[in-house]
């Protein structure tokens, strides 16, 4: 018996599709599935019900066999899906009874990435997640080119870990992490900053995370903690603020730093002096005496007294060390 004769559809029934060449009451859209490694099932795409079961043909007859099934039971244009033994669907278009090949789809990625982990800002009582650093960072990425921006929100330590793991699936050659959230008393969005740095450091080598920008108030004052938790990780630099920080001004400074540090390659990241110089260059458009925010007593704090930098060049013998004074020294070389 020919394989096509093995198809024994049930009696026609009323169906919303009401199209088909051989069976006018059967749907125009079906799916051909390998329900077993050796069998194929013709299934209604609307209801999911099977209306024909066909023994799996020899491999060399498979293509012609599916064509005959399509021509006999399906009116164009329809969609047939062939589910391979590995359970992977491959969509194929059906036109006039002939199967058309699926267009080629390859994965492409940028070589640089910025991972934005942001907590809701609620800058005013009507701020229903309106405020975000993402448009600014996307501007940096467009300006830099060859850069993707990946964003996720977090609300506590658990959601931070989940968001970080998700974003770290990106595999760029130079990845920077930007934490953007309210900070107070060594915590970011209620999570200890050392826990966040530790979590990022643990994934830094596998995800090529070279730098961390902490856009939060009051978390940059403890540079000793930054040094300890950066030690032995893949991260080459970290920056943060030791006071409160004006939201828009701080975001502009963060963007300038991220844009500059995106430009560094592997050789650059091994050069301590170059790291310091690049951080100084990023800071140079802003006045070091600008009052960026306030201390815990709400006294004004200048940018030069608030921002902190720690670097850890790649290579043996290099350890994490605060370089804020050196950055401010080189900052003057950029001024007229």
pLDDT score for 9: 47
In three-state secondary structure terms, 175 is strand
pLDDT, tens digit (0-9, with 9 covering 90-100), for 203-249 = 999 999 999 999 999 998 889 989 998 998 999 999 999 999 999 99
pLDDT for the residue 74: 46
pLDDT of residue 299: 94
User: Could you tell me if 116 and 150 are in contact, meaning their C-beta atoms sit under 8 angstroms apart?
Assistant: yes
pTM check: above 0.75? no
* DSSP helix/strand/coil, 142: helix
How far separated are the first and last CA of the chain, in Å rounded? 91
DSSP state of 1: -
pLDDT beneath 50, residues of the chain: 1-38, 51, 58, 60, 73-99
Which of 259, 245, 257 shows the shortest CA–CA distance to 303? 245
**What pLDDT is attached to residue 76?**
34
CATH 3.40.720 for domain 112-334, yes or no, is no
Q: Who's near 94: CB < 8 A, 6+ residues apart? A: 70, 74, 76, 77, 78, 79, 80, 100
Q: In what order do the strands lie in the sheet with 183-184?
A: 183-184, 187-188, 191-192
**HSE-up of residue 6 (Cα within 13 Å, Cβ side):** 14
pLDDT in tens, 133-155: 999 999 999 999 999 999 999 99
Q: What pLDDT does 64 receive?
A: 57
pLDDT for the residue numbered 20: 39
What is the residue extent of each domain of the chain?
A: 3-100, 112-334
One DSSP character per residue, 119-136 reads -----STT-SS---SHHH
pLDDT of residue 109: 83
């Amino acid at each position: 018996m020919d394989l096509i004769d093995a198809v024994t559809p049930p009696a026609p029934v009323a169906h919303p599709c009401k199209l088909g060449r051989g069976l006018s009451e059967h749907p125009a859209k079906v799916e051909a599935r390998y329900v077993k490694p050796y069998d194929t099932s013709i299934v209604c795409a609307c209801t999911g019900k099977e209306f024909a079961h066909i023994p799996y043909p020899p491999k060399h007859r498979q293509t012609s066999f599916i064509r005959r099934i399509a021509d006999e039971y399906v009116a164009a244009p329809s969609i047939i899906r062939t589910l391979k033994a590995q359970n992977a669907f491959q969509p194929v278009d059906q036109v006039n009874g002939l199967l058309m090949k699926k267009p080629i789809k390859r994965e492409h990625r940028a070589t640089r990435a910025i991972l934005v982990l942001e907590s809701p800002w609620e800058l005013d009582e009507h701020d229903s997640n309106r405020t975000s650093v993402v448009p600014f960072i996307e501007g940096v990425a467009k300006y830099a080119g060859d850069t993707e921006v990946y964003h996720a929100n977090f609300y506590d330590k658990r959601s931070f870990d989940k968001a970080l793991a998700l974003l770290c699936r990106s595999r760029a050659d130079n990845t920077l992490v930007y934490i953007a959230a309210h900070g107070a008393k060594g915590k970011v969005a209620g999570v200890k900053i050392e826990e966040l740095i530790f979590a990022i450091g643990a994934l830094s080598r596998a995800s090529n995370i070279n730098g961390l920008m902490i856009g939060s108030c009051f978390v940059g004052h403890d540079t000793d903690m930054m040094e300890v938790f950066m030690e032995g990780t893949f991260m080459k630099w970290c920056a943060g603020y030791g006071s409160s920080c004006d939201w828009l001004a701080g975001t502009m400074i963060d963007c300038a730093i991220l844009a500059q540090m995106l430009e560094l390659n592997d050789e650059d990241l091994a050069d301590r002096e170059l790291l310091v110089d690049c951080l100084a260059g990023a800071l140079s458009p802003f006045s070091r005496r600008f009052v960026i925010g306030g201390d815990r007593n709400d006294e004004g704090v200048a940018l030069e007294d608030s921002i902190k930098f720690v670097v850890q060049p790649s290579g043996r013998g290099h350890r994490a060390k605060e370089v804020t004074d050196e950055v401010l020294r080189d900052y003057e070389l950029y001024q007229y």
